[in-house]
A and B are shown apart, each in its own frame.
Chain A
Amino acid sequence: MTEIRCIQVAINEQPQTAEVPTRMLLSDFLRYTVGLTGTHVGCEHGVCGCCTVLLNGDAVRSCLLFAVQADGAEVTTVESLTREGSLHPLQAAFRQEHALQCGFCTAGFLMTLIPFLRENPRPSASEIREAVSGNLCRCTGYVNIIRAVQSYVALSRNSP
């Protein structure tokens, strides 16, 4: 019989208490238990990056973690980026540069880029390419994703 554990997780700064089967993947927990369906699942073997979320601030693959492992941790998903309906500047750059088509992989790219840009606010094009190389996109050929990050970086450089 499946074991159940009670876990406490801060998801997007909201504390949550939930009972989870110990074998439940963090990605499934976020999507089905918590109902945050912005995190998508594309391969469930750690290659595509669609399920990227932040665990205590670091980008990780939520399909390679069990929900029970997030007990006591902070998890941040794409749903946290938008405040009062207005897009995060990186999201706005994605829209402006047409960096998404079907939109399925997009959350994973954003959640990979948020900590990367915090660590490296002035990346070169090749650093951007390296940073998102663990996220597969099948629609855009990455061209406009790279351009969107460059345009975001250029804009943030101009602001104080």
Chain B
Amino acid sequence: MKPAPFTYYDPHTLDEALGLLAVHGDAAKILAGGQSLVPLLNMRLAAPDVIVDINRLPDLDFVTTDNGLRVGALARQAMVERDAAVRDVAPLVTEAIAWVGHRQIRNRGTLVGSLAHADPAAEMPLVFLALDGELHLRRTSGSRRVSAGDFFVHIMTTALDPEEIATEASLPPVPPGSGSAFLEVARRHGDFAVAAIAVVVTIEAGRIRRARVALGGVGPTPLRATRAEERLVDEEPTNELFVEAALAASHDCEPVTDIHGTAEYRRELVRTMVYRGLGRAVVRARTGAAG
């Protein structure tokens, strides 16, 4: 299980890296944390001609929390996990990131890399979808921002063009009165989700003013459960409402059967976890507790 040959570049500036991608396009793969890419290379399920290792690029290993959350392309997941300020501005990120692989993986894997890899059962894409996150993409000729909703296109396929690098991912500040929850069922601790959910609710004057329900592992990308969200908005948070919203969410996904669970099971999990997650998120919104 050894990688096929490739040409290796480790550019020391972003411009140099973007120039390489402009030249090699599809033939190149960006190597950041490598925790998803290198297994694929070792198994020769991916055999790119060119590897552009961006680990030596300067100034991309930042995590800032001044106005929402900004995470640079080389910020390791463990760095985000340990950052106490992240817990304050984006508690859902802190709650979910502990579910990403294991410590050795998070020490090396990057948050932005996880988004760019776009595994539909991965935690970070789900969370960035739930929190209206954005990806900052750069190419030699300029830059653009893509919302998480537009970024995830299909299984491990994103809006990222071959000549672009995702240099940063950001989250807007969470409105006051918000609470969130992340739930996941995985076969073993640290595995990709059989199904996972992230919910964010904002409560004003006893009613849910804003709701985000995102689902992972139950479709080709992380999904927004829009019918569930619509059901929740402007309602008083009651147990009956959560039951209905959870049922709606279970119809808002397209799970498939694989060796880890049937489609029907995944749909049930969505229902169970959205129900439980809403209860948790509302309590957190009301008490102002973390999450």
Contact = CB atoms under 8 A, between A and B. Distances in A.
A77 to B, nearest CB: 14
Interface residues of B, number: 28
A100 interface: no
A65 B1 contact: no
Given A45-B39, A64-B35, A22 B104 contact: no
In this complex, the member of A1, A25, A131 whose beta carbon has the largest number of chain B beta carbons within 10 angstroms is A25
Contacts of A46: 35, 38-39, 105
Contacts of A112: 103-104
A133 B39 contact: no
Contacts of A65: 34, 38, 108
A51 to B, nearest CB: 9
Interface string A117-149: 000000000000011011000000000000000
Nearest to B33: A64
Interface in A33-52: 44-46, 49, 52
In this complex, the member of B10, B39, B103, B107 whose beta carbon has the largest number of chain A beta carbons within 10 angstroms is B103
Nearest to A23: B3
Interface in A51-77: 52, 55, 58-61, 63-66, 68-69
A116 interface: yes
A131 B6 CA distance: 35
16 contacts: A1-B5, A3-B8, A5-B8, A23-B2, A45-B1, A45-B43, A49-B102, A49-B104, A60-B104, A60-B107, A61-B104, A68-B53, A69-B55, A112-B104, A116-B103, A133-B189
* Shortest beta-carbon contacts, A-B, top 3: A134-B102, A22-B8, A45-B39
